[in-house]
């Protein structure tokens, strides 16, 4: 069922992506004209929008590649067949922050413990927590938070919330909504301060 939902969501995303790439510039211009803000405020809003999208996508992809590669190396070292396939699966799941790659290596570690390969199971568990897990906890806030200019906790909460509400696309949409809220807050606060100073 989850696979079917994922494939439907992926198909819809690719379908919309075609039209957004084809008509994107005209759509952006229409949105700019419709937003009731001064030109400098619109510029700040759209600059932050672009920064957030770039940082979130690049940061998510870098973290996913690193986690997938580290997981694949561990599986290859332990002698599992199709280590490259599991590395790719971990890379895709790593787009989900905090729990992504764990969905692959944790069941494998439990399996190793159950069949009596105690040291391999313990080793994989420690490697997963201390190496693979730390990549997500250290790199994602640094790469995404630095580019979006959002605090680490806002990046984590908005990414998890976005995935909960929007699915896989939420790893971009969540931080984007958070950044739009923050920049709107800054614009309104600055406008209110200017009005009070003028009064």
The pLDDT tens digits of the residues spanning 34-52 come to 877 777 777 777 887 777 7
**Cβ atoms 151, 178 nearer than 8 A:** no
* Predicted local distance difference test score (pLDDT) of residue 198: 60
Query: In the chain, what is the straight-line distance between the N-terminal and C-terminal CA atoms, in Å?
Result: 60
Global confidence as pTM: 0.62
* Predicted local distance difference test score (pLDDT) of residue 27: 83
pLDDT in tens, 124-172: 888 888 887 777 767 766 776 666 667 777 777 887 788 788 876 777 7
**Cβ atoms 52, 148 nearer than 8 A:** yes
> For every residue of 80-131, which 3-state class applies, written as one string?
CCCHHHHHHHHHHHCCCCCCCCHHHHHHHHHHHHHCCCHHHHHHHHHHHHHH
Calculated CA dihedral for residues 116, 88, 135, 139, nearest 10 degrees: -170
- The listed range with the strongest mean pLDDT (15-29, 89-103, 185-199) is 15-29
CA atoms within 13 A on the CB side of 157: 7
Question: Quick check: helix, strand or coil at residue 37?
Answer: coil
User: Average pLDDT, whole number, for the chain?
Assistant: 79
């Amino acid at each position: 069922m989850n696979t079917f939902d994922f494939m439907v969501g992926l198909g819809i995303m690719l379908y919309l992506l075609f039209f957004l790439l084809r008509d994107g510039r005209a759509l952006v211009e229409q949105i700019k004209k419709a937003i009731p803000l001064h030109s400098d405020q619109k510029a700040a809003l759209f600059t932050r929008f672009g920064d957030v999208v770039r940082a979130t996508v690049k940061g998510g992809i870098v973290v996913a590649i690193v986690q997938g590669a580290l997981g694949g190396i561990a599986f290859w070292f332990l002698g599992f067949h199709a280590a490259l396939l599991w590395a790719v699966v971990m890379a895709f799941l790593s787009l989900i922050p905090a729990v992504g790659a764990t969905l692959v290596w944790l069941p494998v570690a439990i399996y190793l413990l159950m069949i009596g390969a105690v040291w391999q199971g313990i080793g994989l568990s420690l490697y997963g927590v201390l190496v693979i897990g730390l990549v997500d906890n250290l790199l994602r806030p640094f790469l995404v938070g630095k580019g979006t200019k959002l605090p680490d906790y806002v990046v984590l909460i908005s990414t998890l919330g976005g995935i909960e509400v929007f699915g896989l696309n939420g790893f971009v949409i969540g931080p984007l909504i958070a950044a739009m809220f923050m920049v709107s807050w800054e614009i309104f606060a600055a406008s209110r301060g200017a009005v009070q100073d003028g009064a």
